[in-house]
Chains A and B, each alone.
Chain A
């Protein structure tokens, strides 16, 4: 399977600041990446689908101006949480789609805490 990394693995920031999370596909060219968010004891919620070279597709209820996604290359997608608030504190996980539709490889996740 594909190897996916995320950076940083955890971050603490102050309310009102912006945080960028990187997702890299280390051994596979990923045309499609996904961003999920998981609150404690909750399921993973798909936030957006990131397509290389085009605008991301956001799920209903996710503010595209708050969660900026850039998929500038086949190996890198970034999620920027702008003007973060404590309610944005969560576990953010990216995944890449493999060659087959059923292949989806998850990164290790980024734990964001907004104080």
Chain B
């Protein structure tokens, strides 16, 4: 059974600080990992993906992957109130047509 685990939160972070979101996965065969942002009542939007161990930076966002620990994280620098949303971690295990396995998401609140 493929599982992706996230702390549901809420995680409250002051505006301008760094928000750190964590995710673990059970399937060692997972190849790639995705972070999506989902606003209430809306569908997810892709923030970034990572498939190699280490860090990947894109603007204010940094994804970190540690395959040995089966751990993925997302750092948001200079947090803004508009970053308040639920952040979903997802894993892709390959196989061609497989969809993604999602975690339940972490509810992030950026306090002005």
Chain A residues packing against B (C-beta within 8 Å)? 1, 32, 34, 36, 41-46, 49, 51, 57, 93, 95, 97, 101-102, 104-109, 111
Q: Among B34, B42, B97, B105, find the residue whose CB has the most chain A CB atoms closer than 10 A.
A: B97
B57 CB–A CB distance under 8 Å: no
CB <8 Å contact, B92 and A101: yes
Using A32-B97, A36-B99 as known contacts, say yes or no to A43 and B105 having CB atoms under 8 A apart.
yes
In the complex, A101→B34 CA distance in Å? 12
Chain B residues packing against A (C-beta within 8 Å)? 4, 8, 32, 34, 41-46, 49, 51, 88, 92, 94, 97-105
**A39–chain B nearest beta-carbon distance, Å:** 10
CB <8 Å contact, A102 and B34: yes
The interface residues of chain B, by DSSP majority, are classed as loop
Residues in B with CB closer than 8 Å to A95 are: 99
Using A43-B102, A44-B88, A102-B34 as known contacts, say yes or no to A107 and B49 having CB atoms under 8 A apart.
no
Residues in A with CB closer than 8 Å to B94 are: 101
Q: List 24 A-B contacts (CB under 8 A).
A: A1-B46, A41-B8, A43-B102, A43-B103, A43-B104, A44-B44, A44-B100, A46-B99, A49-B98, A49-B99, A57-B97, A93-B43, A101-B94, A102-B49, A102-B92, A104-B34, A104-B99, A105-B46, A106-B44, A106-B45, A107-B43, A108-B43, A109-B43, A111-B41
In the complex, A109→B39 CA distance in Å? 12
Q: Which of A36, A49, A102, A106 contacts B97 (CB 8 A)?
A: A49
Q: Among A42, A45, A101, A105, find the residue whose CB has the most chain B CB atoms closer than 10 A.
A: A101
In the complex, A36→B102 CA distance in Å? 10
